[in-house]
C-alpha cells in the first residue's frame, strides 16, 4: 500500500518540475526524507509476514515477532511468545486430528499510524481456509497490529517487529456459523426421520396387535 506521505511527496514533485528551476532546487532535500520513511520497513515487514504465513512457515514468521508478542486469533486462542505460535500452527496443521489443510491471506491495510518507534495498523485479512474434510470458506477477518522498532529487529525490515496482533470475525454472521447451522439442521432432520420411523413402526405394531386381538 502506498503511504499517504508518499502520495503527497509525489504530488509535490509533479508540481515542482512544472514550475521554475528555483522551486525544483528547493525541493531537492525531499529524497532524503523519503529515504527515512518508516513505512518502507513496515511494507517489507508486511510482505515477509504475508509470504511466510501463506507458506505455513511458522519458523519464518517468528523471525518478525517480538519475543514477548501477544497474538489473538479468531478461534479465541491467545498466544504469548514465539514458541506459542509454533505450537499453535503445529496443532492446527500437522498434529493428528488437525482440521485445517491449508490457508492463505492477503491483508489490506485501511489505516497506519507511526509515532517514533511504535506503529499501529488495522484492516482486513482476506483469509481463506480449506479444511481437511474438503470444506472451504473465507472469513475476511478484521485485524489490528502493533509494531515496534528495535535495534535487535530484522535488518531487512529496518528493525520493525510485531509486538501484538489481534484478528476477529463477525460473531453473528460468518461462514463457520452457517456450516454449523447446516450441520445441526441435517442432524436434527435425520434424528427426526429416525424418531418418526420408530414411532410409525410402534404405532403400526400396536394397531396390528389390536386388530388381531379383536378377531380372536
The per-residue pLDDT for 33 is 41
For residue range 62-100, what is the model confidence (pLDDT) as tens digits? Answer: 999 999 999 998 888 999 999 999 999 888 888 898 888
The per-residue pLDDT for 214 is 62
DSSP the chain: ---HHHHHHHHHHHHHHTS-HHHHHHTTTHHHHHHT-THHHHHHHHHHHHHHHHHT-HHHHHTTEEEEEEEE-TT--EEESHHHHHHHHHHHHTSTT--EEEEE---EEEEEEEETTEEEEEEE---EEEETTS-EEE---EEEEEEEE-TTS-GGGTTEEEEEEEEE--SSS-HHHHHHHHHHHHHHHHHHHHHHHHHHHHHHHHHHHHHHHHH-
The per-residue pLDDT for 195 is 55
The per-residue pLDDT for 103 is 83
The per-residue pLDDT for 86 is 92
Which stretches in the chain have pLDDT values below 50? 1-34, 174-191
CATH of domain 38-169: 3.10.450.50
Amino acid at each position: 500500500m502506498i503511504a499517504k506521505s508518499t502520495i503527497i511527496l509525489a504530488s509535490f514533485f509533479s508540481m515542482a518540475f512544472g514550475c521554475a528551476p528555483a522551486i525544483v532546487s528547493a525541493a531537492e532535500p525531499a529524497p532524503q526524507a523519503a529515504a527515512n520513511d518508516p513505512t518502507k520497513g513496515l511494507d517489507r515487514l508486511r510482505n515477509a509476514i504475508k509470504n511466510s504465513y501463506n507458506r505455513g512457515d511458522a519458523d519464518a514468521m517468528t523471525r518478525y515477532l517480538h519475543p514477548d508478542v501477544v497474538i489473538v486469533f479468531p478461534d479465541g486462542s491467545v498466544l504469548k511468545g514465539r514458541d506459542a505460535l509454533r505450537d499453535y500452527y503445529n496443532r492446527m496443521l500437522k498434529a493428528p486430528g488437525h482440521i485445517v489443510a491449508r490457508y492463505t491471506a492477503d491483508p489490506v491495510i485501511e489505516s497506519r499510524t507511526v509515532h517514533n518507534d511504535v506503529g499501529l495498523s488495522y484492516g482486513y485479512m482476506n483469509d481463506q481456509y480449506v479444511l481437511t474434510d474438503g470444506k472451504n470458506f473465507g472469513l475476511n477477518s478484521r485485524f489490528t497490529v502493533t509494531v515496534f522498532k528495535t535495534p535487535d529487529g530484522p535488518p531487512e525490515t529496518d528493525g520493525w517487529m510485531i509486538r501484538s496482533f489481534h484478528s476477529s470475525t463477525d460473531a453473528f454472521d460468518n461462514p463457520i456459523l452457517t456450516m454449523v447451522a447446516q450441520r445441526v439442521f441435517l442432524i436434527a432432520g435425520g434424528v427426526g426421520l429416525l424418531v418418526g420411523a420408530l414411532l410409525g413402526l410402534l404405532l403400526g405394531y400396536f394397531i396390528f396387535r389390536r386388530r388381531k386381538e379383536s378377531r380372536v
